């Protein structure tokens, strides 16, 4: 088994992150946590790439549709449809429009609990409810009420893999093996080595 410090996750800085000049801020937050950047590129995604990305998990359409219907009902609202697949078709159409509107930055970050910790410091999917101190909580005002009113995707700056299994599908969707770099940074000794090493002379 690979050492847990080798876990990798996929992060996409969505078009609004680039347009709002937040790429440096966001990258520095993952970097200062202690994660290591092992892949990076700027692309203008195609609609096919985006649809492929969101449907890598064959259950995504059903699960996201069901989750969205539940979230309408929890808020005392009537969902636009009772059919999860119809809901997701609309979400996917809006995501394709949003994610292909301009350049995005696709990255792979590596480190212990990379998937979980990126999600934690990125904050919840709906920026309105994202915790204070998270990236979305600190930098975005958007909400589902806003995005649904205007029939568009919620603008939440970032995509981060939802699980290790998702990361393992998403990384090869965006990167060739040769585009990912295996290298060491010296701070890893202090973070992960069993012994702290030769600090004192």
Residues with catalytic annotation? 159
Site membership for ligand GDP, residue 13 (CB under 6 A): no
Sheet of 104-110: strand order equals 36-43, 104-110, 8-13, 158-160
User: 3-class SS at 11?
Assistant: strand
Site membership for Mg ion, residue 162 (CB under 5 A): yes
Measure Cα distances from 81 to 56, 60, 77, 87, 200 in Å: 24, 17, 11, 6, 66
Measure Cα distances from 201 to 51, 197, 198 in Å: 56, 11, 7
Nearer to ligand GDP (CB atom), residue 38 or residue 118: 118
Site membership for Mg ion, residue 80 (CB under 5 A): no
Site membership for ligand GDP, residue 125 (CB under 6 A): yes
Nearer to ligand GDP (CB atom), residue 134 or residue 147: 147
Place of tokens 């979305």: 136
Q: Which span (27-35, 63-71, 169-177, 181-189) binds ligand GDP, by CB under 6 A?
A: 63-71
Site membership for ligand GDP, residue 64 (CB under 6 A): yes
Q: Give how many residues touch ligand GDP by CB under 6 A.
A: 15
- Under the rule (CB under 5 A), what is the footprint of Mg ion? 162
């Amino acid at each position: 088994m690979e050492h847990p410090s080798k876990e990798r996750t996929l992060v996409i800085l969505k078009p609004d992150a680039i347009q709002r000049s937040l790429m440096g801020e966001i990258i520095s937050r993952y970097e200062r946590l202690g994660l290591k950047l092992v892949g990076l590129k700027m692309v203008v995604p195609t609609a096919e790439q985006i649809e492929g990305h969101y449907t890598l998990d064959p259950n995504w359409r059903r699960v996201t549709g069901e989750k969205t219907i539940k979230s309408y009902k929890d808020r005392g609202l009537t969902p636009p449809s009772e059919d999860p697949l119809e809901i997701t078709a609309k979400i996917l159409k809006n995501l394709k429009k949003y994610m292909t509107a301009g350049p995005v930055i696709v990255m792979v970050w590596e480190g212990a609990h990379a998937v979980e910790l990126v999600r934690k410091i990125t904050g919840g999917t709906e920026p309105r409810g994202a915790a204070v101190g998270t990236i979305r909580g600190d930098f975005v005002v958007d909400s589902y009420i806003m995005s649904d009113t205007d029939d568009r995707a919620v603008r939440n700056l970032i995509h981060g893999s939802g699980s290790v299994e998702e990361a393992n599908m998403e990384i090869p969707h965006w990167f060739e093996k040769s585009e990912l770099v295996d290298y060491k940074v010296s701070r890893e000794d202090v973070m992960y080595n069993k012994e702290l090493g030769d600090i004192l002379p």
